[in-house]
Amino acid sequence: MRKITTGFFISLLVFLFLSGCNSNSNGVVNEDLFQYKDSYVGDNSAVGNITKQLPSPTGEQISELELKTTEPPYGIVLNYVPAETTDQIAADYKELALYNATFIFALVKNADWVDFKFVEKEYRVTRESLESWYGKDLSEFKSEDELSKFTQKYFEDENKVNDFFK
């Protein structure tokens, strides 16, 4: 009996240890996005991990990731579908597309464009147009915090975001 109890106790400790090492408050592993800095479009693992950590519109989730690597310019297509939940809040697709494209271009060296195919809207964002809008080379950023702080002032003005897509 003591042998069974000891085995159960050890198994329980191992399980708790492993669970504690891989979780945060909402049960999702929260990795540093900048560990994928200098990735390439052809690295589906890195690009997939980047896009999984980027925000999605409320009520939508990425259903498919397409990497366009046959010939330059190289690009990424993110296809979104309705999520399991039915609580649909009007999403600011434009701001979300710009924010996510900013991180993709900062992390993926050879990404020239990203297509966002949301449930209700589609947008294409190019590296050239986004860096021109910011007036800065996105590959210069060294941390998620630094890049987030930089983008905040651009997203405060809704007109500025709308002007990007004209």
Torsion of CA 47, 52, 128, 77, to 10 degrees: 80
The model's pLDDT over 2-61, given as tens digits with 9 standing for 90+, comes to 554 444 333 333 333 333 443 333 333 357 899 999 999 999 999 999 999 999 998 899
> What is the rounded average pLDDT for all residues in the chain?
83
Residues 19 and 36: their CA atoms lie apart, in Å, by 24
pTM to 2 decimals? 0.78
The model's pLDDT over 116-160, given as tens digits with 9 standing for 90+, comes to 999 889 999 999 999 999 999 999 999 999 999 999 989 998 899
Q: Which of 60, 57, 102, 66 is nearest to 81 (CA)?
A: 60
